[in-house]
């Protein structure tokens, strides 16, 4: 019942090599060879012409004009190693998100990525596909919004493997033995529900055709059903574990927007049925792109991790801190009216200003605050906080703006 897609030297997928010299006018060089059935990519990274040199090998997964539905798989296994000044690999799954599946313009290609150090996993790692998220640089470069920050892996055209982020200059050798996508033809829950349904149908047929043996047959069917139900519950627990992992941002450890599917209905019901209060604080780091451009993405990542820790120390136990996307964060505040949420936002804003940041950076943030009103669409509540945030940006940044009903 399992399915596999293997990518290696014998799989027949068209291969290509690229570096910053290929597309960005850099000075790095790369060449692809083989040794004992293993692909070897030799790179000489040079940052004299481009500040963030890289090299990659890529595999064309498309068939005719369509890609591969990788969303139907569960994990991807990398048997690969890297030698060089920074032994880190980055994998991209590049999907087409245009109406025309043959369109390959940059704004129609969506880059999903993971970065890891092969030596930590003995050069053989199996990664859940939930960990592939849209690359932050792709969201920023293409000015993508909320709806574009979810993974779209149902039409993947290309798989790339290459050097990691901010790789220093020097000689690198990447060896790839095998990449393997793994999944099931039928998801476990559907498979066992199908078996349960077949047993129930079988019991009904026996009951109709063999009246005198109904009790015996029904007893056997119920025993089988209970056994399958136990298996199904165990699978449900496993599925819940994967779901919880997919609700966490891998960089900061904060929840992402996926957790709202569970929390929002309860919050809304408490406002409607119990006259409770719910407020939202949106905030965004000011000039964060300049930090990445001037100090590297590693420094930017360190700023985001430190910001998450700072905010966790400032909020209450009932508040929910979410990484909304990129450098944007949200705090949902149950049992909190608009004025109290405004005070919390200013408290966090001042804490950010007074904190010592990496590389001596001066970091500030802009805030927008709104309160949910019973009966209004939840998206209106979120959009009002977002508009207040951009009002703070337009007024000069490093401030808190509050909005009520229009």
For 49-63, 135-149, 248-262, which range has the lowest pLDDT when averaged over its residues?
135-149
Q: What CATH superfamily is the domain 2-184?
A: Galactose-binding lectin (2.60.120.430)
Pairwise CA distance, residues 255 & 246, whole Å: 9
The 3-state secondary structure of 55-74 reads EEEEEECCECCECECHHHCC
Contacts of 256 (CB under 8 A, 6+ apart): 247, 248, 249, 322, 323
- Check residue 101 and give left, alpha or beta (phi > 0: left; psi -120 to 50: alpha): alpha
Residue with the two structure tokens 């337009």: 394
Residue 341: pLDDT band (50, 70, 90) is very high
**What pLDDT digit, counting tens, does each position of 13-44 carry?**
999 999 999 888 899 999 999 999 999 999 99
Average per-residue pLDDT for the chain: 87
Domain 257-402, CATH number (from 2.130.10.10, 1.10.3080.10, 3.40.50.720, 3.30.70.270): 3.30.70.270
170 pLDDT more than 80: yes
Pairwise CA distance, residues 118 & 162, whole Å: 12
The pTM of this model reads 0.47
* CB distance 15 to 57 below 8 Å: yes
274 pLDDT more than 80: yes
* pLDDT (0 to 100) of residue 219: 64
Q: What angle do CA 344, 350, 352 make, to 5 degrees?
A: 105
């Amino acid at each position: 019942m399992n399915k596999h897609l293997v990518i290696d030297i014998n799989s027949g997928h068209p291969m290509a090599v690229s570096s910053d010299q290929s597309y960005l006018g850099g000075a790095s060089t790369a060449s692809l060879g083989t040794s004992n059935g293993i692909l070897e990519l030799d790179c000489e990274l040079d940052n004299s012409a481009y500040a963030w040199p890289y090299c990659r090998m890529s595999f064309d997964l498309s068939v005719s004009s369509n890609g591969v539905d990788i969303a139907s798989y569960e994990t991807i296994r990398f048997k690969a190693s890297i030698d060089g000044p920074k032994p880190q690999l980055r994998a991209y799954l590049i999907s087409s998100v245009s109406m025309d599946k043959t369109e390959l313009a940059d704004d129609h290609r969506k880059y999903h990525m993971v970065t890891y150090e092969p030596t930590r996993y003995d050069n053989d790692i199996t990664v859940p596909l939930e960990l592939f998220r849209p690359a932050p640089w792709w969201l920023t470069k293409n000015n993508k919004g909320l709806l574009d920050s979810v993974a779209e892996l149902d039409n993947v055209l290309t798989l790339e493997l290459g050097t990691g982020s901010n790789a220093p200059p020097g000689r690198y050798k990447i060896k790839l033995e095998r990449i393997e996508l793994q999944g099931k033809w039928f998801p476990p829950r559907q498979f066992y529900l199908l078996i349960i349904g077949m047993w129930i149908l079988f019991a009904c047929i026996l009951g109709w055709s063999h009246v005198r043996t109904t009790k015996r047959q029904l007893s056997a069917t119920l025993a089988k059903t209970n056994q399958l139900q136990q298996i199904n519950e165990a699978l449900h627990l496993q599925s819940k574990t994967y779901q919880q992992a997919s609700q966490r941002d891998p960089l900061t450890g904060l929840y992402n927007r996926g957790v709202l599917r569970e929390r929002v209905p309860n919050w809304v019901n408490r406002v409607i049925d119990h006259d409770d209060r719910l407020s939202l604080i949106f905030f965004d780091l000011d000039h964060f792109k300049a930090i990445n451009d001037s100090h590297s993405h590693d420094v930017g990542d360190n700023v985001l991790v430190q910001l998450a820790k700072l905010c966790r120390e400032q909020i209450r136990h009932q508040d929910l801190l979410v990484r909304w996307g990129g450098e944007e964060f949200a705090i949902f505040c149950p049992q909190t009216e608009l004025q109290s949420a405004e005070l919390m936002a200013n408290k966090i804003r001042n804490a950010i200003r007074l904190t010592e940041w990496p590389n001596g950076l001066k970091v500030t943030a802009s805030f927008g605050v709104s309160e949910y009103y019973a009966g209004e669409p939840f998206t209106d509540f979120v959009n009002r906080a977002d508009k207040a945030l951009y009002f703070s940006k337009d007024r000069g940044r490093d401030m808190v703006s509050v909005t009520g009903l229009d």
